[in-house]
Structure 1
């Protein structure tokens, strides 16, 4: 058994050895508590039959736990300075492939085919850089990748929004976009003290389990997401006012919007945060013919 990377002493040793300094622009915060890493891999439900995609491995603290518990790890690291460090810290493990690419620009599907072929089950497990959390999760879900789920650490406040239920102040278009594809739950709150450097906010680990079918039937996904985003444009406004001001030619089509709301059984005086995903789906299907 190798000494864990995720301890303050070992992290400092590695950084000193390579003269590494944190880049604020890349949102680098390294975990220095092995117990939390073990918990993350437990929540992700990994076995040797699982392949893992990791984003932002840093110096390999979580990667080594993933390598120990899963069949294979494919990690995307944008920061070139970390490649020699990872080659060193992960040298005991022969089931890790590091790709020096920005996951947002990468063709993840073809990387999966190339590196993870033969694995039935693929999980995304990562301590995500805070500044790109949402675009990364949405990319992984909207590209229809063959993944079973996502178990990631992110800013607690973003986690709250992702897992929020209708009628709460955290619930919004992000909650809907992610819950449309997955079942979302917060499995763990992580204090800021277990990171180096210490971020300003606490973190959370959220687990997203991909649904076999989306949460609701919509006739046009792009339009459905446009309707949900428009409905939350100004949270204090009613859904009718938001849709009228946000949809193309909405002001001219106020009567059509009102009629669509009524057909969908949604009171025009309600606010976006009170509607379930199913209600939004029903509403966007009613609105669609007027905005094609």
Structure 2
């Protein structure tokens, strides 16, 4: 029986109704399942955290390759389905909860997880907040292998000066090395999403790409620079509340022209600028 037929049988058996607000698109292509597992480089000794398991298709596939899978699912109606579809797997644990509210550092400690990797067909609405949240938690997670909408993947891997380059690009390059794994057609899901997807792997670095005096300030500066993309740095950074003289001094000391726009600055330049601002606060 094909994966499509199996998925439809389970959906019909339980009378499951897709929740558009939760961005539910179930994967029905075995080739893509394998690409996620291969792309994540899942090994026997790994423990995998998954978000949005759906009916457990990817969960089952990963459980055959690793030590443990801990999956977080928010939808009440899927919990009962998962109990049945994953009931024969002793190395899978389902947590009923909101992934954006999970303390992953605590979860890893409580579940005694080692060699931790994240792999998921991530619901689209979760993509940016989940990545931001989990990177800021400073866990011992080694990598994130995510199937996400191609548009967001393009923003994550964007280079300085491109139209896709922004706060998310800088956040991810600060913490991770990012690699494209594969493009995914909308035909690989039930129901079909309106956009194409992409699998990416984000290998989390032992230490951030640059050293700064104040990490929180760095990202405040970055967010301010991109809040209004067409504004020059001089105008975009005024909401930081430095005052004209200090802002002028910070830009001058960091060697950055006040007429430049945020999209033209590299991560290293943002680091220099935030450090100069820190010295003046």
Give the alignment's TM-score, normalised by structure 1.
0.93
- 8 Å CA contact retained: 2:155, 2:166: yes
Match of 2:39 in 1: 43
- Tell me if 1:232 matches 2:232: no
Q: Which runs of 5+ in 1 are unaligned?
A: none
Q: Secondary structure at the residue paired with 2:48?
A: strand
Aligned-pair CA distance for 1:194? 0.7
Q: Which runs of 5+ in 2 are unaligned?
A: none
Distance (whole Å) between structure 2 residues aligned to residue 158 and residue 237 of structure 1: 23
- Tell me if 1:22 matches 2:18: yes
Name the Cα RMSD after superposition.
1.3
Q: Secondary structure at the residue paired with 1:81?
A: helix
- Tell me if 1:90 matches 2:68: no
- 8 Å CA contact retained: 1:33, 1:194: yes
Q: How does 1:1-292 map to 2 (within 5 A)?
A: 7-117=3-113, 119=114, 121-244=115-238, 246-248=239-241, 250=242, 253-291=243-281
Distance (whole Å) between structure 2 residues aligned to residue 212 and residue 105 of structure 1: 25
Aligned-pair CA distance for 1:74? 0.4
Q: Secondary structure at the residue paired with 1:123?
A: strand
Q: Secondary structure at the residue paired with 2:180?
A: strand
Q: Secondary structure at the residue paired with 1:63?
A: helix
Aligned-pair CA distance for 1:137? 1.0
- 8 Å CA contact retained: 2:250, 2:280: no
- 8 Å CA contact retained: 1:51, 1:116: no
Aligned-pair CA distance for 1:83? 1.3
Aligned-pair CA distance for 1:226? 0.5
Q: Secondary structure at the residue paired with 1:69?
A: coil
- 8 Å CA contact retained: 2:179, 2:201: yes
- Count, aligned residues: 281
Distance (whole Å) between structure 2 residues aligned to residue 187 and residue 226 of structure 1: 31
- 8 Å CA contact retained: 1:59, 1:85: yes
- 8 Å CA contact retained: 1:160, 1:186: no
Q: Secondary structure at the residue paired with 1:232?
A: helix
Aligned-pair CA distance for 1:225? 0.4
- 8 Å CA contact retained: 1:165, 1:171: yes
Give the alignment's TM-score, normalised by structure 2.
0.97
Distance (whole Å) between structure 1 residues aligned to residue 47 and residue 20 of structure 2: 30
- 8 Å CA contact retained: 1:71, 1:95: yes
Distance (whole Å) between structure 2 residues aligned to residue 102 and residue 51 of structure 1: 20
Distance (whole Å) between structure 2 residues aligned to residue 290 and residue 267 of structure 1: 18
